[in-house]
């Protein structure tokens, strides 16, 4: 405020020093009374109104000052100020400031009328010294845990109504904060529970009960992988398949929904689990428990005072001497009594007092008036309430900011710190950066139990429901969460921070309509929690940016945004801008006018090829994330951005101003940097100027050379010298090098001084990568290396002793910590010389893939190996390494590898080739593989008999691929098999019976050209999924309908002879049906499939010119897809009129479809997608008056991959 530039500017704008002094005086005067006002505001409405008015005025003053400082800092010619001070806009700034100061002075005078008094700040300077505290031992829940464990281990639990169920649902009921989730976690981790079930899964459900979202989360929890399915029906089939014939234990935590229909739909896939399967539910509501229970609810009681004291003590973390102080003990017990037996309250109160043994402070806390505030006014547990009041002021605003997130929303530490920084919540002292201060604030809120780690997503955090309620209470009118925009009318002129949770088909225009009322908003966070939802985004950015001129943080993350208006440059206060995962192609040059911009996030913006040329003007930029963009090169002058702390990617250019040496001035970089197009580095001097060895904050370094047409002329020594000079600091944890063009590696790569490196990847994605390298670096001496991946070394012939150690070796055991080792696409690799018998003591996974020249032996002694994959190594003729603990073995496309004796713990076995197939089938018949769960046999050209009776009793999945002469011997039955897949195999079979596998849950049969019928004479009561593809001779499925009453998903593709018209009874359990190139089936769609909700029809039919005919489709349809029906020219509204439940209509590759006949498409539709159908698509885009009125009522319409409105 006292810099010469600012002083001169203020004078030029008639903002005299006297005016500034008035503001400072009043701010100091207000500070003294804020503590008293905060305490009294809940029970005294006039005080709350006074405090809100004061905050509003303070915000206005802050915005004006920010405008003053920004203009002063960006003014190129200060001498012109005086000549322009009479400018109307300039005078307006001074006048507004005077009005605000007058208002603040008026409010200060009112303090006496309101009875506000000065309360001195208590000593709250104590700070925690650790970043994260260890989880305290749980107290007082031993008996509760044993009771729940007993229920879980009891396979004969009667249900709540005296009946019996294979899958039991056990609710734990109790008020918020009582410890339901903690108890469920204790049970979940219990050793006896883990041994009793085939698998476990933990799902946080929360208030927003979405069957689709919860089902998807369950599948992802079970498979530990992302699920891309967008259809509930397919999701539930997938889940049912995973659960069938398995004894499972699933926890559904924090359940609120009381809808029986929702629960019935959600639990449907669970009902075919093995007897003894259990679902544990935690809920506050007894009504929820009554809806879902099969066993009487377990009602969790409050903790005893003694146990509450233990929880309190563990979190207070006092010294031994303090703990023995009788006075402190007594006050502590009195405080604990106020927790009312709630563990969360005791934990929060202990966190508030962590490390503070000042008896006066404890007494002050005990006698605080806050305990007496009426719960009618604020329904928050008093112990949580007082924990908030006694937070330092700098933490209060950081905590309340999180009220913008929905309940159970997982937020990242880095993202929140950047938002705090944009709001100027972080005030660094000394040499600390704002990011470091934010890190301390965040960790302190964790230590005080306001934040807790997310149960599922690593590096994410959540707030307990009660803590979230606390944040909402104190956010007041200055924060607003527009969940579905239905309550947008409640927005107040005081609103400063707004989040828009887009989880429904509500156009954002509802929010735009109230922008005039919230023009002082500082934060707009778009939280697109459902990427499948479309938004009416047309002109939305223009409207938002024209109305909300005071924005400091703006996020359109995951919104279908295609452009950003030039007016973005007018947001002079903006500090945080997130456009990640949008469709934006170019950024306006005006973006570089944002002098205050600190954070710019463009993650996943694949269409962006260039950044604005004036990026160097963003001198306050600290965080630039451009990972996943399509940048061709960096703009010139990036070295000017010396404030940068994070630069995710740097694309090396060829011009002066965007070469690699621009990185040299960026000394403060942290986290991860990806340096791309290193082929543009001319020599080692340029590389040295990047000064990578000085950047001690870089933890992950990615280096990439792109392939180019001049690669054969590369000087490999220069390339080695370049990599030598790119040596990173020894703090590095992860290193990836792609496309390196030298013949050898520099000595720093693999040096034991890099004691923090845990992961290295050497390889590439394109042909020609590592084209010159003929030797691996010595990586065996890295003491912490856990994961190593090597690929595309096209000249490497031998992996020898140099791989394990070099002349400066400092470790006796090479690769002492390595857990995963993967070799991919090593086209010239011939020999692995493994002379180090003690190497790889901890190796758990070894993959050798596509190494066609590899011969000889592999390392033989791998005591910790669990998974071995050898694929497409045609010349490898060794024995499988000795690995007694191996559970997964895949030998594919490597015919000469000898398997030998199968390990008894084998869980997954996949083999390819004649010799392996014969030896494995023989070994299976002779070896008791009691753990084998999945077996795949492929590529066997000789005649092999496979008796069903020899299949291990534990086997659940069987896959036969490209084994035309393999013959099943169908004697006996196999009850555990759940999934059967046969492709291009078993030519001798014309009629295939599934009776040998009575418990099948999924059957896929394809390219079995000679199969004429699929026979089932016994009931397949568990079969929900059946797919038959390209079986040209197949005619009969008649008996399948009655024999499999649980069939819900049927796919018939490329079976032109199959005909079901003679079937007498319709199949009523079917929900999803795909018919592709099966002409004879089209005529019976409605008559045979009454209950179908999802229908997909694909293929040519020259006789069909319009679709659908009246009464042809089942009335139960919710989703309809028409694909590749090129003869169709017209869509009939009449044929769809009876589909009152239809929500989604997709039309793909119907090139002649041009017209929609009739009044309009069904009113129930919420989504219409047209792609590859140019005639109709163009008419929809142009809003043709003969088409648009028939579809304009549909909330989301997509044509050719773009949403239209």
Q: Within 13 Å of residue 55, how many CA atoms lie on the same side as its CB? A: 21
Same domain for 748 and 891, yes or no, is yes
Same domain for 258 and 147, yes or no, is yes
Please report the pLDDT score of residue 662 as a whole number: 97
In 3-state terms the chain splits into helix, strand, coil percentages (rounded to 5) of: 30, 20, 50
Instruction: Name the band, by pLDDT with cuts 50, 70 and 90, for residue 31.
Output: confident
Considering the domain boundaries, does residue 1068 fall inside one?
A: yes
For residue 1079, what are the contacts with CB-CB under 8 A and spacing of at least 6? 1056, 1099, 1101
Which domain-ending residue is among 896, 927, 950?
896
The 8 Å CB, 24+ separation contacts for 1059-1066 are 1059/1035, 1060/1084, 1060/1088, 1062/1038, 1063/1038, 1063/1088, 1065/1041, 1066/1090
Considering the domain boundaries, does residue 358 fall inside one?
A: no
Residue 819 has pLDDT above 90, yes or no: yes
pLDDT digits (tens, 9 = 90+) for 290-324: 777 778 888 888 888 888 888 888 888 766 666 67
pLDDT digits (tens, 9 = 90+) for 781-797: 999 999 999 999 989 99
Same domain for 14 and 44, yes or no, is yes
Same domain for 286 and 156, yes or no, is yes
Same domain for 265 and 174, yes or no, is yes
Considering the domain boundaries, does residue 927 fall inside one?
A: yes
For residues 2 and 684, the model is more confident at: 684
Considering the domain boundaries, does residue 479 fall inside one?
A: no
Residue 218 has pLDDT above 60, yes or no: yes
Which segment of 521-525, 541-545, 588-592, 708-712 scores lowest on mean pLDDT? 708-712
Question: What sections of 175-228 are H helices per DSSP?
Answer: 180-188, 191-196, 211-223
Question: What sections of 268-319 are H helices per DSSP?
Answer: 286-292, 305-316
Domain of 807, CATH number, reads 3.80.10
Same domain for 890 and 904, yes or no, is no
Of 147-156, 307-316, 979-988, where does the model show the most confidence?
979-988
The 8 Å CB, 24+ separation contacts for 211-218 are 211/262, 211/265, 211/266, 213/530, 214/252, 214/266, 215/239, 215/266, 215/269, 217/456, 218/250
Which segment of 149-153, 321-325, 1149-1153 scores lowest on mean pLDDT? 321-325
Integer Cα distance of 889 and 899 in angstroms = 9
Same domain for 278 and 196, yes or no, is yes
Integer Cα distance of 909 and 935 in angstroms = 5
Same domain for 879 and 945, yes or no, is no
Q: Give the percent of the chain with pLDDT over 90.
A: 38
Same domain for 1129 and 1058, yes or no, is no
Please report the pLDDT score of residue 1103 as a whole number: 67
Residue 112 · residue 34 · CB < 8 Å:
no
Residue range of the domain that includes 1054: 989-1087
Query: What is the residue-averaged pLDDT of the chain?
Result: 83
Instruction: Name the band, by pLDDT with cuts 50, 70 and 90, for residue 841.
Output: very high
For residues 569 and 969, the model is more confident at: 569
Considering the domain boundaries, does residue 401 fall inside one?
A: no
Same domain for 885 and 905, yes or no, is no
Strands of 404-522 (E only): list them. 411-412, 452-453, 460-462, 479-482, 497-501
For residues 1001 and 767, the model is more confident at: 1001
Which domain-ending residue is among 299, 328, 345?
299
Q: Give the percent of the chain with pLDDT over 70.
A: 86
Same domain for 158 and 281, yes or no, is yes
Give the mean pLDDT of 30-35.
78
Instruction: Name the band, by pLDDT with cuts 50, 70 and 90, for residue 5.
Output: very low
Question: What sections of 678-739 are H helices per DSSP?
Answer: 684-688, 716-725
Instruction: Name the band, by pLDDT with cuts 50, 70 and 90, for residue 441.
Output: very high
Considering the domain boundaries, does residue 335 fall inside one?
A: no
Which domain-ending residue is among 981, 997, 1026?
981
pLDDT digits (tens, 9 = 90+) for 337-375: 877 788 887 887 888 788 778 888 888 777 765 565 544
Considering the domain boundaries, does residue 636 fall inside one?
A: yes
Instruction: Name the band, by pLDDT with cuts 50, 70 and 90, for residue 552.
Output: very high
For residues 1056 and 769, the model is more confident at: 1056
Could you give the C-alpha distances from 110 to 21, 32, 33, 99, in angstroms and in order? 21, 14, 11, 17
| Concatenated DSSP letters of 949-964 | GGS-TT--EEEEES-T
Total number of domains constituting the chain = 7
Same domain for 755 and 842, yes or no, is yes
Residue 217 · residue 254 · CB < 8 Å:
no
Considering the domain boundaries, does residue 623 fall inside one?
A: no
């Amino acid at each position: 405020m006292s810099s010469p530039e600012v002083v001169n500017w203020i004078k030029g704008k008639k903002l005299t020093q006297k005016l500034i002094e008035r503001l400072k005086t009043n701010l100091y005067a207000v500070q003294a009374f804020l503590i008293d006002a905060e305490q009294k505001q809940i029970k005294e409405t006039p005080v709350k109104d006074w405090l809100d008015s004061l905050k509003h005025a303070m915000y206005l003053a802050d915005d004006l000052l920010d405008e003053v400082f920004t203009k002063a800092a960006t003014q190129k010619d200060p001498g012109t100020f005086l000549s322009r001070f009479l400018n109307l806009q300039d005078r307006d700034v001074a006048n507004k400031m005077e009005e605000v100061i007058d208002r603040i002075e008026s409010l200060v005078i009112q303090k006496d009328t309101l009875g506000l008094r000065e309360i001195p700040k208590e000593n709250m300077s104590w700070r925690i010294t650790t970043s994260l505290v260890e989880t305290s031992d749980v107290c007082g829940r031993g008996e509760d845990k044993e009771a729940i464990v007993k229920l879980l281990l009891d396979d004969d639990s009667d249900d709540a109504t005296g009946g019996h169920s294979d899958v039991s649902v056990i609710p734990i009921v109790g008020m918020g904060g009582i410890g339901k989730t903690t108890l469920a976690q204790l049970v979940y981790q219990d050793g006896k529970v883990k041994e009793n079930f085939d698998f476990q899964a933990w799902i946080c459900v929360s208030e927003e009960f979405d069957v689709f979202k919860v089902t998807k989360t369950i599948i992802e929890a079970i498979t530990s992988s992302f699920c891309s399915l967008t259809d509930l029906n397919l999701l539930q089939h997938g889940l049912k398949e995973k659960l069938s014939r398995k004894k499972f234990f699933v926890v559904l935590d924090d359940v609120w929904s009381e809808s029986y229909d929702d629960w019935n739909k959600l639990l449907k896939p669970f009902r075919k689990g093995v007897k003894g399967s259990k679902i544990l539910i935690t809920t506050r509501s007894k009504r929820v428990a009554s809806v879902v229970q099969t066993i009487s609810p377990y009602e969790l009681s409050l903790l005893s005072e003694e146990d509450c004291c233990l929880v309190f003590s563990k979190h207070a973390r006092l010294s031994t001497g303090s703990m023995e102080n009788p006075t402190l003990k007594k006050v502590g017990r009195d405080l604990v009594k106020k927790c009312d037996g709630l563990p969360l309250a005791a934990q929060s109160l202990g966190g508030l007092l962590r490390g503070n043994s000042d008896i006066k402070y404890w007494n002050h806390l005990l006698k605080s008036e806050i305990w007496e505030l009426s719960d009618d006014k604020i329904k928050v547990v008093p112990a949580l309430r007082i924990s908030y009041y006694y937070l330092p002021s700098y933490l209060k605003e950081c905590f309340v900011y999180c009220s913008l997130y929905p309940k159970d929303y997982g937020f990242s530490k880095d993202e929140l710190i950047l938002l705090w920084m944009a709001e100027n919540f972080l005030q660094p002292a000394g040499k600390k950066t704002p990011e470091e201060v934010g890190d301390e604030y965040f960790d302190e809120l964790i230590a005080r139990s306001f934040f807790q780690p997310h149960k599922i997503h690593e590096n994410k955090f959540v707030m307990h429901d009660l803590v979230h309620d606390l944040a909402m209470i104190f956010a007041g009118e200055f924060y607003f969460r527009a969940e579905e925009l239905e309550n947008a009318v409640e927005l107040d002129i005081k609103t400063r921070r707004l989040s828009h949770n887009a989880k429904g088909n509500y156009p954002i225009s509802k929010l735009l309509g109230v922008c005039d009322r919230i023009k002082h908003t500082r934060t707009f966070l778009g939280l697109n929690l459902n990427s499948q939802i479309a938004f009416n985004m047309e002109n939305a950015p223009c409207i938002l940016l024209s109305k909300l001129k005071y924005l400091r943080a703006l996020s359109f993350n995951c919104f279908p945004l295609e452009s950003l208006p030039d007016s973005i440059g007018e947001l002079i206060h903006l500090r945080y801008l997130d456009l990640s995962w949008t469709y934006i192609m170019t950024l306006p040059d005006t973006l570089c006018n944002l002098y205050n911009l600190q954070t710019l996030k463009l993650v996943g913006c694949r269409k962006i090829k260039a950044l604005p040329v004036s990026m160097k003007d963003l001198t306050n930029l600290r965080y630039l994330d451009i990972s996943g963009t399509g940048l061709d090169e960096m703009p010139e002058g990036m070295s000017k951005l010396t404030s940068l702390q994070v630069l995710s990617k740097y694309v090396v250019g060829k011009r002066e101003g965007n070469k690699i040496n621009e990185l040299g001035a960026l000394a403060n970089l942290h986290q991860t940097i990806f340096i791309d197009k290193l082929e543009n580095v001319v020599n080692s001097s340029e590389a040295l100027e990047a000064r990578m060895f000085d950047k001690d904050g870089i933890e992950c370094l990615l280096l990439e050379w792109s392939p180019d047409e001049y690669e054969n002329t590369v000087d490999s020594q220069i390339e080695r010298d370049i990599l030598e000079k790119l040596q990173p600091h020894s703090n590095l944890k992860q290193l990836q090098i792609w496309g390196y063009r030298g013949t050898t590696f520099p000595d720093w790569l693999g040096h034991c001084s890099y004691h923090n490196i845990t992961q290295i990847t050497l390889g590439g994605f394109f042909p020609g990568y590592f084209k010159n390298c003929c030797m691996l670096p010595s990586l065996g001496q890295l003491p912490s290396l856990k994961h190593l991946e090597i690929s595309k070394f096209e000249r490497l012939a031998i992996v020898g002793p140099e791989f394990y150690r070099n002349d400066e070796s400092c470790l006796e055991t090479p690769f002492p910590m390595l857990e995963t080792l993967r070799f991919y696409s090593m086209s010239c690799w011939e020999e692995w010389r493994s002379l180090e018998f003690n190497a790889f003591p901890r190796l758990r996974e070894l993959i050798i893939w596509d190494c066609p020249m590899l011969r000889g032996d592999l390392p033989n002694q791998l005591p910790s190996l669990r998974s071995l994959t050898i694929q497409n190594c045609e010349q490898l003729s060794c024995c499988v390494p000795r690995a007694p603990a191996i559970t997964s073995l895949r030998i594919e496309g490597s015919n000469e590898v000898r398997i030998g004796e199968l390990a008894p713990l084998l869980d997954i076995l996949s083999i390819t080739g004649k010799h392996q197939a014969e030896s494995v089938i023989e070994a299976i018949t002779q070896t008791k593989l009691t753990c084998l769960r999945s077996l795949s046999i492929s590529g066997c050209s000789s005649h092999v008999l496979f008796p069903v009776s020899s299949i291990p009793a534990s086997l659940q999945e069987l896959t036969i691929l490209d084994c035309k002469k393999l013959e099943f011997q169908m004697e006996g039955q196999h009850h555990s098999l759940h999934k059967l897949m046969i492709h291009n195999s078993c030519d001798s079979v014309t009629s295939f019976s599934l009776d040998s596998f009575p418990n099948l849950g999924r059957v896929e049969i394809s390219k079995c050209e000679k199969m004429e019928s699929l026979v089932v004479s016994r009931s397949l009561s568990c079969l929900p999924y059946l797919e038959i593809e390209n079986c040209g001779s197949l005619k009969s499925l008649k008996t399948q309908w009655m024999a499999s009453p649980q069939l819900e998903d049927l796919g018939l593709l490329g079976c032109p002879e199959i005909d079901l018209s003679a079937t007498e009874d319709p199949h009523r359990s079917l929900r999803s049906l795909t018919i592709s190139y099966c002409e004879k089936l089209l005529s019976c769609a409605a008559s045979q499939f009454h209950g179908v909700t999802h229908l997909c029809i694909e293929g040519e039919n020259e006789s069909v010119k319009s679709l659908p005919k009246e009464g042809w489709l089942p009335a139960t349809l919710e989703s309809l897809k028409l694909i590749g029906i090129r003869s169709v020219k017209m869509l009939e509204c009449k044929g769809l009129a009876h589909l009152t439940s239809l929500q989604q209509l997709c039309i793909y590759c119907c090139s002649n479809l041009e017209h929609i006949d009739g009044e309009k498409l069904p009113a129930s539709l919420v989504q219409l997608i047209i792609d590859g159908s140019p005639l109709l698509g163009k008419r929809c885009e142009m809003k043709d008056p003969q088409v648009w009125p028939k579809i304009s009522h549909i909330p989301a319409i997509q044509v050719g991959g773009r949403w239209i409105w």
